[in-house]
Amino acid sequence: MLKEKYIVRIMTLLVCCLFLSGCTGTDPSTGPAPTSSAPMPAGDDTPTPVPTSAPKSTAEPTPVPTPEPTATPTPDPMPTSEPTLTPAPSTAPTATTEPTPEPTPVPTPESTPTPTEPSGVLIATLADVPSGATFEFDLEGEKAILVNFNGDYRAYMNRCTHKGGPNELQGEAIVCQWHDSKFDPNDGAVEQGPAAAPLEAIAIEVRDDGIYLPGAAAGDTTAEAVSFTGEVLAGTTTKYLVFTKADYDLALRMKKKVLLQFYSNWCPTCAADDNYARAAFGVMDDPDVVAFRINYQDSDTDTDEEDLARELGVSSRFTKVILVDGQPVFNQPAPWKTDDYAKELAKI
């Protein structure tokens, strides 16, 4: 019985509750929501919610942009501080551009040895060919000459175009020793016959302190001095020269038979000897012989001559010494006559 009473009460309470809730409408969202939402668009055209959202959006954009620009300048100072660092990188790029010129000096030293494009073969030093001198050298098996004409160097094949005679610079012209043809030292042009064609010119290059054959490689061409530069007292094929150490050394290198005639410029016997020697060598025709007049104990004697006299044991002013292959093989302290020179040289 009790149980039934409770059930009735509970049911009553539930009905009450339902009733109360239906009267107040406090909970339309749950129960009558579908019913009330359907008629709303028709009768209740209240756009109220719309204007409500509109003013909200109008007010909102105003504050939004305000903080945004505020935030925007914030990153700006960042780049501002970056330019502050620019000087640092500016030194960096400077360093970046510096290494670029660094490689430049590297190839420069590499090109320096090229100059050492000092190519070609040295014919002679400038000291070997003083002004007015003729310097003979061998070019691929043929004789050639180098002349210094008033400071200008020229080279020609030493072959006269008449009949192939040897040539020598004499004053203002290159003169053939056989028939006196004359050539212009500047370009080899004929100035006087019988030659009709110019001397064959050789290209040379003057640089630093030497005269070079520019097109030749070392070993391809033999450039060897075979001529003397001292004063010639007499002779063409067999020269009688005023002594210089350079010519004397050259004669020894050339394996010449060398005659040394000691001479004092104050001695009458020596002067007579000198005249006989000029007469003898003026006609001698032996290319393997060369003679030097060497001063001895006089005002013109230099240290080279003193050293050589001492080395050869000379003690008389008209001594004659003959050397073969650089070695003294004859020594006679006596005056000679013209015929004695050829005769004594022939014995050796």
Interacting residue ranges for ligand FES, rule: CB under 6 A: 160, 162-165, 176, 178-179, 181, 194-195
Least distance to ligand FES from the beta carbon of 163, Å? 4
Q: In whole angstroms, how close is the CB of 287 to ligand FES at the nearest point? A: 17
CA distance 231 to 16: 159
Q: Report the largest interatomic distance among the alpha carbons of the chain, rounded to a whole angstrom.
A: 191
Residue closer to ligand FES (CB basis): 177 or 265: 177
Least distance in Å: CB of 160 to ligand FES? Answer: 3
Angle between helix 77-85 and helix 87-97 axes, rounded to 10 deg: 40
**Cβ closest to ligand FES, residue 182 vs residue 239:** 182
Minimum Å distance from CB 165 to ligand FES?
Answer: 3
Q: How far is the CB of 150 from ligand FES (least distance, A)?
A: 24
Locate 99 and state its tokens: 């290494």
Measured from the CB atom, the residue of 22 and 171 that comes closer to ligand FES is 171
As a residue count, the chain comes to 348
Nearest-angstrom CA–CA distance, 225 and 256: 14
Q: What is the CA radius of gyration of the chain?
A: 59
Tokens 């010494």 belong to 321
Of 191 and 344, nearer to ligand FES (C-beta) is 191
Q: Is residue 5 packed enough to be buried (19+ CB in 10 Å), middle (13-18) or exposed (0-12)? A: exposed
Closer of 14 and 189 to ligand FES (Cβ): 189
Q: What's the min distance (Å) between Cβ of 192 and ligand FES? A: 9
Q: What are the angstrom distances between the C-alpha of 181 and each of 119, 123, 161, 162? A: 35, 26, 9, 8
Given the complex with ligand FES, which of 174 and 308 has the nearer CB atom? 174
- Do 247 and 298 form a contact (C-beta atoms < 8 A)? no
Minimal distance in Å, beta carbon 197 to ligand FES? Answer: 11
- 210-213: strand order across its sheet: 121-125, 210-213, 205-207
Would you say 338 and 278 are in contact if contact means Cβ atoms under 8 Å apart?
Answer: no
Residue with the two structure tokens 């050492």: 116
Give whichever of 175 and 309 is closer to ligand FES, judged by the CB atom: 175
CB of residue 158 vs ligand FES: minimum separation in angstroms?
A: 11
Indicate the residue among 199 and 277 with the shorter CB distance to ligand FES.
199
The amino acid sitting at 194 is P
Q: Residue 294: enclosing H or E segment and its boundaries?
A: strand 289-295
Q: 146: exposed, middle or buried (C-beta count within 10 Å: 0-12, 13-18, 19+)? A: buried
